[in-house]
Amino acid sequence: MGYPVCMTKKNPTPERVNLGKEIRRLREELSITQEELAGKLHTGQQEVSRIELGYVDIGLDKFDEISQVLKVEKSELIKHLRLPDEQAGEAS
């Protein structure tokens, strides 16, 4: 089936949920289905769903691959590992 996208599977955390929402937003903006994204990441649709729901710690090596598919800089994805309040404090 390919290489796993995640390092570990855990209960969702607010940070992973925030990142997952951004990955989903970017995927939908590009009109890419979960199945299509899964194919490009060499994983299954259920794994993409778990990423988007915040159940998965994405390995750092996969940030590059995800960012390339979603046409966004890695730093843009990584900043979504922070909570919205932390991001707002950085902008001030």
Does residue 63 lie in a domain region?
yes
pLDDT-derived band at 68 (thresholds 50, 70, 90) equals very high
Sign of the torsion formed by the C-alpha atoms of 71, 23, 49 and 29: negative
CATH number of the domain that residue 39 is part of: 1.10.260.40
Number of alpha helices (DSSP H) and beta strands (DSSP E) in the chain: 6, 2
Does residue 88 lie in a domain region?
no
Task: Tell me the Cα Rg of the chain.
Answer: 13
pLDDT average, residue stretch 84-90: 56
Range of the domain at 66: 6-81
Q: How many domains does the chain have?
A: 1
Does residue 20 lie in a domain region?
yes
Does residue 51 lie in a domain region?
yes
Does residue 68 lie in a domain region?
yes
Does residue 48 lie in a domain region?
yes
* 88 pLDDT above the threshold of 60: no
Q: Could you tell me which residues come within 8 angstroms of residue 5 by beta carbon, excluding any fewer than 6 positions away?
A: 41, 43, 47, 48, 51, 56, 58, 59, 62, 66
Token code pair at residue 59? 């390995």
* 3 pLDDT above the threshold of 50: no
Alpha-carbon distance of 45 to 49, in angstroms, equals: 6
pLDDT digits (tens, 9 = 90+) for 6-33: 545 578 999 999 999 999 999 999 999 9
